Amino acid sequence: MAAAALNPPDRAARLTRLNSVPTPFVTPSLLNCDFGRVGEELAALKQAGTVAVHLDVMDGHFVPNLSYGAPVIADWRKYTEFPFDTHLMIADPGRYLDDFIDAGCDVIIFHIEAVPEPVPLLRRIRAAGCQAALSLNPPTPLAAIEPFLDELDAVLVMSVMPGFGGQKFEAQVLDKVRALRSQRPGLRISIDGGINRTTVGEAVAAGATQLVAGSAVFRSDGNYAAALAELAEGARCVRT
Ligand code: DX5
Ligand code: ZN
């Protein structure tokens, strides 16, 4: 497949929209959605006021789970204009990067634990018109990404070990969020894992501006508007 970005004007428009979303905002992680009816799920999220979705790509090597890859995302892209916040939990993101760009991903996040020298990859992502982000696991110190902050559009702080939805929020990672926020007042800081109506407040208080939420959105009653409203309410009840 050619390395050229798919529909570059559309991507630029999606990213302009994403950049103008008031913070903090929630990006539902599709990991816990009904994959048998993704089109309906995306329509329901749009109806509920979602502004972007978070896509979790897992390879069974970097994390002990498998999800989906670029061909599946390319099919979703035909049916939605949601910005795709794409979280690559894969061992060799550089090998597949062009596939994710061509599939219509917008923000491309990979892990510092997978690519300790990330600058060439970050620059390839930006050169394709996408936004580049690094993620770090709970045990990884902030120092691991600090040398690269000028190359980043966002940082994704993991508040669980990646691989599965529905895990317990690890509050100690908020020290990293606070430290990063004090260094970079304008940076988009996402937090991912265990975000719910209780934990969202402390994440926002620490400085997170983007809340990734899987199981808190895709709950059993299917009322995504209510779930998003509860998270927004929790975000207002800032806990320090
Ligand atoms: C975990 C993924 C998350 C996950 C979040 O490895 O990166 O995006 O879907 O799910 P919850 O919100 O249930 O922790
Ligand atoms: Zn994720």
**Of 208, 224, 199, 169, which is closest to residue 48 (Cα–Cα)?**
224
pTM of the predicted model over 0.85: yes
What are the pLDDT digits (tens) for 129-185? 999 999 999 999 999 999 999 999 999 999 999 999 999 999 999 999 999 999 999
Give me the mean pLDDT over the 31-48 stretch: 96
Least confident of 26-35, 114-123, 165-174, 231-240: 231-240
Q: Is the CB of 162 under 6 A from ligand 1?
A: yes
What would the mean pLDDT of 81-90 be, rounded to a whole number? 98
Kindly give the number of the ligand 1 atom that is closest to the alpha carbon of 54.
8
CA distances 143 to 33, 112, 205, Å, are 34, 11, 22
Evaluate if residue 220 carries a pLDDT over 80: no
- pLDDT category, 200, cuts 50, 70, 90? very high
Q: Tell how far CA 106 is from the center of its chain.
A: 10
Spell out the domain ranges in the chain.
3-236
Closest C-alpha to ligand 1, atom 7? 162
pLDDT confidence tier of residue 219, bands split at 50, 70 and 90: confident
Q: Which atom of ligand 1 is nearest to the CA of 196?
A: 12
Residue 6 binned pLDDT confidence (cut-offs 50, 70, 90): very low
Query: Does 213 sit in the ligand 1 pocket, CB within 6 Å?
Result: yes
Give CATH superfamily name and number for 3-236: Aldolase class I (3.20.20.70)
Q: Measured in angstroms, how far is the CA atom of residue 125 from the centroid of ligand 1?
A: 23
Sheet containing strand 188-192, strands side by side? 25-28, 210-213, 188-192, 154-158, 131-136, 107-111, 84-89, 53-58
The pLDDT value given to residue 237:
82
Residue 193: what residue type?
A: G
The more confident residue out of 237 and 192 is: 192
